Structures are given as structure tokens and as C-alpha cells.
Amino acid sequence: MASVCPENVGVPTPRRLLAVHAHPDDEASKGAATTARYAAAGVEVLVVTCTGGERGDVLNPALDRPEITASLPSVRRAEMAEAASILGVRHAWLGFIDSGWSDATPAAPPPAGSFADVPMEEPALSLLRIVRAFRPHVLTTYDENGGYPHPDHLRTHEISRYVWEHAGDRSRHPAAGPAWTPLKLYYHHSFHRERLMALHEAVIATGQPSPYAEWLADRADDSHRVTTRVRCAEYFPVRERALLAHATQVPPTSAWFTVPAHVQAEIWPTEDYELAATRVPVSLPEDDLFAGVPDDIA
């Protein structure tokens, strides 16, 4: 019979959250205040970045210099490490190559050997190993449209769904570690129409041109998909610092900062999600990604 340590009896199992993202900086623009809030509360938070962002452009003119572009992969790794430190989360690279973004119509195929080009099972197995090792209770990722249809975002959705469905199946990939079954799966809805409209109106009220106008013109009303609103306004400044850590991608003059954090806290104090699947009973709407997860879950 297994022995039981008396000091561990009745001690809640630490809750664990795994956030799966496509590129370095995605973790700062989608769900950053949420992960910072949970990490500060003692939740074990792991961010997985599927690619190194190698094919991203340098969007900050002040850093668009030959020595930066020549070493962009290592620069983006350093930026990601700084952002993770700011958010207070652990971080892991899945290890695949950025597929890049094609503006062509139809889109050009992803480069050979890139994240969106390799067979889906290859990165899915890499992520499954991480899930079985980290044992998250909650997963967050992108919806079936990727948030936007970047091929790496679409692939991130595919592999996240794969591990949701199969990580707990002992018959699949037994060499990848002991089976683990996550309990809840969420999709980010950081830019749903209702929130964008609130930000747009806040900018218009100041007499400035709104960077959200063009976005709203093409945005379908997807606000009905939101099931879960996590209040995390006190971590909006942390979110901004994490974004700024990705200096090659996010200059201080970026539209991300058009509406100051304290104003966003007043008009939209939550980060929003869709509960895509659950293995525990829930009552919607929710205000907590761990709603329904027992404190003593093993």
C-alpha cells in the first residue's frame, strides 16, 4: 500500500494553466493580463510558443537595422524571455519554424519544413509530450479561424485540439509520458466586435482618429461566442510591459497603446474567452477559467 505524507493531506493540488501560442509576442497580445493574474495568485502557468517568429518583419523602425535583422531569431528569443519574466510565467518553445504570412490571393503555400508545412502529427506529438509532463487543468488556444487566418495560428488550433482529445488516451503515444486529461479548453476572443467597438468609441470621444475603424468595417459580430470574462484590469499595465518587451514587433507608438491601460480598465476590465470544451460541469457565463475545477483534483 502506498504511504501518505500527513503534511500533504488536504493540501489542494496546484492549479495549472497551459497557454498555447503561435509566435513570440502572441502571448502578450492575447490573454497576457489573465496569465499574469493567475500566476500572481499561485497558479502554475506555462506558455508554449510553437515557432520562433523567424519570418516576422521588424515592425519597429528604430530597430530595423542590419545587425537586428541578421540575428532576428536570437533577438526574438531574448524578447520572449523578457516578456515571460514580466508576466511571471514559465515558458517553453515547441521548436518549429515560422511559416510566414502571405498577402497573395490565393495565399502561397507555407515554406518547406515550416510549422504549417510539416505533417500535423509532428508538432502535435511535441505538444502532447509537454501536456503530459506539465499536466494542465486548463488549456487556452485559438479558435478554428486562428483568431486570424495565419497558417501558424490555424496549425496551433489543430494541434491544441489534438492534445485536448488524445493526451489522456493511454493507448496513444505511450512513449510520450503518462496520460493526462485536461479538464477545460478555451479559445481567445481578445478582439471580438463588442470590445473593439468600445475601444473605438473611447478613441473617437477624444477627437483622435481610431485605429479600430478599418478593423471594425470587416469584422463579423463574433461577440456571442464569449462565454467567460476574466477580470484582470489591474494587470493591464503588466500586459503593456510584456508587449513592449517585444520591441522589434511593438514600438511604443503602436496602436496597441492608443487607449491607455487605465481607460481600458474602466471601459473593458476583462479578457474574454470561449469555453470550447469541458470535462467538468459548468454554469455559463463564467468569470474564472478554473470554474468547476475541484480544488483537490489529482
Domains, the chain: 14-191+226-255+270-278 (3.40.50.10320)
- Inter-residue contact 228 to 186 (CB < 8 Å): yes
Per DSSP, the three-state class of 43 is coil
Question: Mean pLDDT for the chain?
Answer: 93
The three grid cell numbers given for residue 54, joined into one nine-digit string: 523567424
Task: Give the integer Cα–Cα distance in Å for 32 and 201.
Answer: 23
Peptide bond into 285 cis (omega under 30): yes
The three grid cell numbers given for residue 87, joined into one nine-digit string: 508576466
Among 106, 251, 137, 121, CA closest to 173: 121
Measured distance between the N- and C-terminal CA atoms of the chain, rounded to whole angstroms: 18
The three grid cell numbers given for residue 223, joined into one nine-digit string: 461577440
- The 10s digit of each residue's pLDDT in 92-145 is 999 999 999 887 777 789 999 999 999 999 999 999 999 999 999 999 999 999
Q: Checking DSSP bridges between strand 90-96 and strand 44-51, what pairing results, if any?
A: parallel
Per DSSP, the three-state class of 231 is strand
Between 281 and 8, the higher pLDDT residue: 281
Residue 51 has pLDDT above 50, yes or no: yes
Residue 8's pLDDT is 35
Residue 220's pLDDT is 86
Report residue 124: phi and psi, to 5°: -60, -40
- The 10s digit of each residue's pLDDT in 14-44 is 899 999 999 999 999 999 999 999 999 999 9
- The 10s digit of each residue's pLDDT in 209-268 is 999 998 899 888 999 999 999 999 999 999 999 999 999 999 999 999 999 999 999 999
Residue 298's pLDDT is 55
Describe the crossing of helices 32-40 and 72-87 by its angle, rounded to 10 degrees.
50
pLDDT class of 75 with cuts at 50, 70, 90: very high
For the chain, what percent of residues have pLDDT higher than 90? 86
